[in-house]
A and B are shown apart, each in its own frame.
Chain A
Amino acid sequence: MTEAILSIRNVTVEIPTRHGIFKPVKNVSYDIKPGEIRGVVGESGAGKSMTGNAVIGLLDDPAYISEGEIWLKGRRIDNLPAEEKRRIRGKEISMIFQDPLTSLNPLFTVGEQLVETIQLHLNLGASEAKARAIALLDAVAIPNPEERFNQYPHQFSGGMRQRVVIALALCSEPSVIVADEPTTALDVSIQAQVLDLIKSLARERSIGVILVTHDMGVIADTTEQVTVMYAGEVVEMGTTDQVLGAPQHPYTQSLIAAVPRPHKKRHRFPQVSYGGRETVFKIDDLARNWPQSEPSKSGKMLEVKGLTKRFVEKSSIIPSRTTYFTAVDNVSFDIRDGEVFGIVGESGSGKSTVARMIATLHKTDGGQILFDGEDVTAMDAQQLAGYRKQIQMIFQDPFSSLNPRMKVGDIVAEPLIHHKILPKGQTDARVRELLDKVGLARGADQKYPHEFSGGQRQRISIARAIATQPRFLICDEPTSALDVSIQAQILNILKDLQEYLGLTMLFISHDLPVVRQMCDRVAVMKSGQLIEVNDAETLFEAPEHPYTAELLTLMPHLAQLDEA
């Protein structure tokens, strides 16, 4: 057994606030050995990033380490003066942040930034530093490193940029790298490449890596050791196989159970019951008063024919000089009564644009959207009002989809009042009933959105969406901003809506396991085009298009869990 290069011993971080002292990290200990990747996993607010920041001495001002010690190569570093800490931060411990866009300076070429960092830490001449920078770019598998050396960050794609950030982190030949959600902002295909790179670099150069993430798939694929954190404390620690395969702590068990499985469809998502956060969704009560959904004439609720959307890329007074970017290119599909239709694709594939066109939030540039046989793009104002009453949408970001200056009760009441669904005086009671049904505590209608958590806000969105008793619900990445346990709750609610109320759904997501669990039929989009539509089971088991097959192989798989 090799000696640990970094060890964190009983570290507690305190933040004094006006409401008393808050401890985001409580008594946390773990070690990192050379060449080892330690995953630190937990939900948002679990204190995993805060621990990483404490290690590199980058705690934001009021926060400080109140107890515990951090040792690097046999030297205690947490109590060093600021200047010493700064030296260690660059030289011995490097950092890879989540967003590759903000961690590079857009005004300097990639080469300049690398050379500057190399010269700062290693005593090298200009030409030696350059040679080293190019070698580093080569090491992080950037093609044509000599040429790329002179380019600016904006000339790199997201994945390539994250490789540059990794190269920057390697400049000083550090012994430890703290990677804070290094792939969260990247598409699945690129995520796999970047993780492979981190894995091989750690092994080759015997660097200890702390990989902070919320994604169990990343943990399973990349790490050897894992530390599970909950509410600032370490609840479980061990080898990845051990922890994922046979979790001991109830929190870890429930967390792993909630991860959507890519290989088997289940009826419902297992919910995390740890910490008593479960709230009840009262679908039976809702179903009792829900009108029988009338079937559409053709059995197809929505037909999309040749849908096209172009965005102006560069505008010009002369029409012929204006250049366009085709976001959605001649897309056709149909959604049958009562089914959940999924669209998957990587970012920029046009899936959200399709959803927004169906929701009449974008104008179309060609093609038809037929809702129950009527062309939405040709409707007059009155017909549109009727259409809007029957469709609703749930948005990705629960923090921007609710007006922060309106009381929750007013937010949910707005569609009811606008469509004059209820006689005056009954609206308030209905709003309270709806909020109760989606599992919010009494009195929620008098509060403002910021008083609720992400999952609760998404429940409010659902209450608003079902207030008018629509027939068709568009869900645009409804859970990608949520923790996995909350995701399971929200997805179960959506499943119930479809099953008990007969709602038809369009479900947009980049998360393949979630899509497999949710959808009856799935369409795959790539750069604006629809490349495959099929039954979910067929698509996941026997994809026809090579791109679909590739996406499926890149899906992070929790091998340890498959038998579960």
Chain B
Amino acid sequence: MSDLSEIETPSRLRRMLDSDLFYAFRRSPVAMVSTLVALLLILSAVFAPLVATTNPFDPASLNLMNGFTPPMEPNAFTGESFLLGTDDQGRDVYSTILYGMRISLFVGVTAVLFAMVLGIVLGLLAGYVGGWTDTIIMRAADVQLTFPSILVAMLIFGIAKGITPIEYRDQMAIWVLILAIGLSDWVQFARVVRGATMVEKGKDYVAAAHLIGRPSLSIMLRHILPNVLSPVLVIATISLALAIIAEATLSFLGVGAPPTQPSLGTLIRIGQQFLFSGEWWILFFPACTLLVLALSVNLLGDWLRDALNPRLK
């Protein structure tokens, strides 16, 4: 029978290229440029070992004599020249940025995924079940919103650090960071999913599924969930930018990624010590990278929100 259906159904890719969303995408220069920039940054972070000139965390590749080399100028002692200069340890700033962005992106993406899953589950439950379940979940969310999220993240980070044994601390730091950012970020997912769930719940296709006798779990996952995902996609994109910034903030404050696995935030923290002694490049380039990364992801999120919301057009 498959030969019948194949004639008339376009492939998934064809459908995607035909969709209104893709059409809107091709018409928006902002979306195209920010996607291009974000993709470039993400790909260079993922393939950092191939793109970077050195592995800045391999002690064997370091030469202290190369310390504080300004960008594009040969070093006074070794004569080596670096695209974006070197830091106090003689590490190539260009390479540290690539490796740092890896950590930043990994933490950001994982934290957003964690927050998303948590938020979707709690939001679906609150919106679908209603009553006391809803009250408890949403009041917890309200309480959490009264604290600045960076404070919540620091609190979680502090507690987690306190209970992990000292020898695992550096290894665990990244995961604790993810947990801290994720836990401080689930609220907006939960709120949006709850609202959308309550709207979808009243629609007749849910009634039809009830009438068939589908269990609640199946109605939630198979019927409602796919219909509440488009606002989630928007929030996830915008949250990704925020999570990257939150990670940088925490690391800048010294409660994030350890110096052995520096993220962009850690690099900025290290760099700001040298800002006033003339070695501006150690701070400037990681900060610019953070800015461009967060901005491109954020613009993409903004565009996505407008494109998926026909009322704003």
The reply to whether B8 and A443 contact each other, CB–CB distance below 8 Å, is yes
- Number of B interface residues at 8 Å Cβ cutoff, please give it: 22
Residues of A with C-beta under 8 A to B204: 395-397, 400-401
The reply to whether A403 and B7 contact each other, CB–CB distance below 8 Å, is no
Q: List 14 A-B contacts (CB under 8 A).
A: A356-B207, A359-B211, A388-B213, A393-B207, A395-B208, A396-B204, A400-B205, A403-B209, A403-B226, A415-B212, A443-B5, A446-B8, A447-B9, A461-B208
The reply to whether A445 and B23 contact each other, CB–CB distance below 8 Å, is no
B1-47 with Cβ < 8 A to chain A: 1, 4-5, 7-9, 23
Instruction: Given A397-B204, A403-B205, check contact A361 B211 (CB 8 Å).
Output: yes
The residue from B7, B23, B214 contacting A443, defined by CB atoms under 8 A apart: B7
Question: A402 near B: Cβ within 8 Å?
Answer: yes
Question: A418 near B: Cβ within 8 Å?
Answer: yes
Instruction: Given A361-B211, A393-B208, A393-B211, check contact A400 B203 (CB 8 Å).
Output: yes
The reply to whether A442 and B213 contact each other, CB–CB distance below 8 Å, is no
B194-233 with Cβ < 8 A to chain A: 203-205, 207-214, 222-223, 226-227
A95: shortest Cβ distance to chain B, in Å? 22
The reply to whether A388 and B212 contact each other, CB–CB distance below 8 Å, is yes
The reply to whether A395 and B4 contact each other, CB–CB distance below 8 Å, is no
The reply to whether A391 and B23 contact each other, CB–CB distance below 8 Å, is no
Residues of A with C-beta under 8 A to B4: 442-443
Q: 10 more A-B contacts (CB under 8 A) besides A356-B207, A359-B207, A443-B5?
A: A393-B207, A396-B204, A400-B204, A401-B204, A402-B208, A403-B205, A403-B227, A418-B214, A419-B212, A447-B9
B299: shortest Cβ distance to chain A, in Å? 23
Question: A384 near B: Cβ within 8 Å?
Answer: yes
Residues of B with C-beta under 8 A to A432: 1
Instruction: Given A429-B1, A442-B8, A446-B5, check contact A403 B223 (CB 8 Å).
Output: yes
The reply to whether B211 and A388 contact each other, CB–CB distance below 8 Å, is yes
Question: A428 near B: Cβ within 8 Å?
Answer: yes
| Least CB separation from B224: chain A residue | A403
Residues of B with C-beta under 8 A to A464: 208
B237-260 with Cβ < 8 A to chain A: none
The reply to whether A391 and B205 contact each other, CB–CB distance below 8 Å, is no
Question: A424 near B: Cβ within 8 Å?
Answer: no
The residue from A402, A415, A445 contacting B205, defined by CB atoms under 8 A apart: A402
Size range of the interface on A? 35 or more
Taking each of A385, A392, A395, A419, which has the highest tally of chain B beta carbons within 10 Å of its own beta carbon? A395
A188: shortest Cβ distance to chain B, in Å? 24
Query: How far, in angstroms, from A462 to B101 measured CA to CA in the complex?
Result: 55
The reply to whether B209 and A414 contact each other, CB–CB distance below 8 Å, is yes
| Least CB separation from B210: chain A residue | A361
Residues of B with C-beta under 8 A to A415: 212
The reply to whether B226 and A405 contact each other, CB–CB distance below 8 Å, is yes
Taking each of A405, A415, A429, A464, which has the highest tally of chain B beta carbons within 10 Å of its own beta carbon? A405
The reply to whether B211 and A401 contact each other, CB–CB distance below 8 Å, is no
Query: How far, in angstroms, from A461 to B204 measured CA to CA in the complex?
Result: 11
Question: A74 near B: Cβ within 8 Å?
Answer: no
| Least CB separation from B20: chain A residue | A18
A434: shortest Cβ distance to chain B, in Å? 15
| Least CB separation from A389: chain B residue | B213
Query: How far, in angstroms, from A418 to B211 measured CA to CA in the complex?
Result: 11
Taking each of B23, B203, B226, B227, which has the highest tally of chain A beta carbons within 10 Å of its own beta carbon? B203
The reply to whether A401 and B205 contact each other, CB–CB distance below 8 Å, is yes
B65: shortest Cβ distance to chain A, in Å? 61
Taking each of B213, B222, B226, which has the highest tally of chain A beta carbons within 10 Å of its own beta carbon? B213
Instruction: Given A396-B204, A397-B204, A443-B7, check contact A418 B227 (CB 8 Å).
Output: no
Query: How far, in angstroms, from A418 to B215 measured CA to CA in the complex?
Result: 10
Taking each of A396, A401, A429, A432, which has the highest tally of chain B beta carbons within 10 Å of its own beta carbon? A401
Residues of B with C-beta under 8 A to A400: 203-205
Instruction: Given A403-B227, A405-B227, A443-B9, check contact A418 B207 (CB 8 Å).
Output: no
The reply to whether A401 and B208 contact each other, CB–CB distance below 8 Å, is yes
Residues of A with C-beta under 8 A to B207: 356, 359, 361, 393, 395, 401
Question: A113 near B: Cβ within 8 Å?
Answer: no
| Least CB separation from B202: chain A residue | A400
Residues of A with C-beta under 8 A to B211: 359-361, 388, 391-393
| Least CB separation from B226: chain A residue | A405
Residues of A with C-beta under 8 A to B205: 400-403
Residues of A with C-beta under 8 A to B222: 406
| Least CB separation from B209: chain A residue | A414
The reply to whether A18 and B214 contact each other, CB–CB distance below 8 Å, is no
Instruction: Given A393-B208, A400-B205, A401-B208, check contact A414 B5 (CB 8 Å).
Output: no
Taking each of B203, B204, B210, which has the highest tally of chain A beta carbons within 10 Å of its own beta carbon? B204
The reply to whether A18 and B23 contact each other, CB–CB distance below 8 Å, is yes
Residues of B with C-beta under 8 A to A361: 207, 210-211
Query: How far, in angstroms, from A386 to B23 measured CA to CA in the complex?
Result: 48
Taking each of B4, B203, B212, B227, which has the highest tally of chain A beta carbons within 10 Å of its own beta carbon? B212
A520: shortest Cβ distance to chain B, in Å? 24
Residues of B with C-beta under 8 A to A461: 208
A402-414 vs B, Cβ < 8 Å mask (1 yes, 0 no): 1111100000001
A51: shortest Cβ distance to chain B, in Å? 24
Query: How far, in angstroms, from A328 to B210 measured CA to CA in the complex?
Result: 22
The residue from B1, B203, B223 contacting A428, defined by CB atoms under 8 A apart: B1
Instruction: Given A401-B208, A428-B1, check contact A385 B213 (CB 8 Å).
Output: yes
B2: shortest Cβ distance to chain A, in Å? 10
Query: How far, in angstroms, from A400 to B204 measured CA to CA in the complex?
Result: 5
Query: How far, in angstroms, from A404 to B203 measured CA to CA in the complex?
Result: 11
Query: How far, in angstroms, from A461 to B209 measured CA to CA in the complex?
Result: 12
B261: shortest Cβ distance to chain A, in Å? 40
Query: How far, in angstroms, from A135 to B194 measured CA to CA in the complex?
Result: 48
Residues of B with C-beta under 8 A to A405: 226-227
The residue from A395, A397, A418, A445 contacting B212, defined by CB atoms under 8 A apart: A418
B220: shortest Cβ distance to chain A, in Å? 13
Query: How far, in angstroms, from A402 to B200 measured CA to CA in the complex?
Result: 11
